[in-house]
Amino acid sequence: MKYLLLLGLLFFSFNLFAQDTIVKKNGSEIASKIIEITPEIIKYKTFDNLGGPMYSVYISDIARIRFENGKIEYFSKETPKLEVPKTKDTLVDPRDGQVYKTIKIGKQVWMAENLNYGYYHSWCYDTLALNCKKFGRLYTYESANNACPAGWHLPSDEEWKKLEVELGMQNEVELTGWRGTSPGQGYLLKLGGESGFAAKFGGHMDYDGNIENGYHSYWYLNKNGYFWTSTKLSNNTKAYSREFSKRASIRREAVDIKLAYSVRCVQGEI
């Protein structure tokens, strides 16, 4: 009997320390088994029902997690920020004299503003010049591949991935859809983010009929930012892109090359 009691106590003690504990900012705690941590949510199962459903909680509501091995990860505002080595400079486009901020992140030098060069098959959102000044122009895939100034080019999908990895993205970099790694590459790259890349939400354009005089429709200004890569898929009708929103993650997706998206140029010849 004493032997069984001792085994029970040992089993209880093991389980007590084998659990992960989510500590919320309001002071409440969740005894859990962490399944996944994304830039926006933590997925977990409750420790008293590991075979049951999976739950999620927003990282913005979490103060810290005490893992079963004793490690503590903090998620509050006091969490140390990611140090992003960067160097600021400017680029003068010799074609029209426009001046763009640039940013060096890792070994790459990027434009830190959306391109606004009046190339063929490019438009201001809603055909308003003020939107071009604030958000840059929207380019078809073909136009985007030729619109960057000399010494600069439209970045490939691989060059975008190098940027994301430099900012901490891990295995998710090869995935499509919304992906990222804490603290959230979407947060770091958006306007106001620590990287200095300052991606703007310039929306996108679509059209019906002839590109020259068909019906043009504009979508998601100030809500989403869409950027071309130069990497076309084998079917030649789609190319990889990047999408930003209020989310902490970044969407990598193959989209129709007839859409009109924003452009960020990266330094170097193709």
Cα–Cα distance for residue pair 34/8, rounded to 1 Å: 25
Per-residue confidence (pLDDT) for residue 62, from 0 to 100: 85
Q: How far apart are CA 13 and CA 75, in angstroms?
A: 28
Q: 250: burial class by Cβ within 10 Å (0-12, 13-18, 19+)?
A: buried
Cβ atoms of 25 and 63 closer than 8 Å: yes
Where the chain has pLDDT below 50, the residues are 2-17, 78-80
Question: Rounded to two decimals, what is the model's pTM?
Answer: 0.72
Report CA 168 to chain centroid distance, whole Å: 11
Would you tell me how many other CB atoms lie within 10 Å of the CB of residue 163?
25
Tokens of 23: 């500590």
Q: Domains (ranges, CATH) in the chain?
A: 15-74 (2.30.30.100), 86-267 (no CATH)
The pair of three-digit structure tokens given for residue 218, joined into one six-digit string: 């504009």
Q: Where are the beta strands (DSSP E) in 49-128?
A: 55-58, 62-66, 72-74, 86-92, 99-105, 108-111, 122-123
Structure tokens at 194: 């620590």
Return phi, psi of residue 60, to 5°. Answer: -65, -20
Q: Could you give the CA distance from residue 251 to residue 219 in angstroms, rounded to a whole number?
A: 17
Which bin fits 129, alpha (ψ -120 to 50), beta or left (φ > 0)? alpha
CA distance 210 to 42: 46
For residue 207, the model assigns a pLDDT of 84
CA torsion sign for 24, 73, 172, 51 is negative
**Residue 79: what pLDDT?**
40
Q: What's the confidence (pLDDT) of residue 76?
A: 60
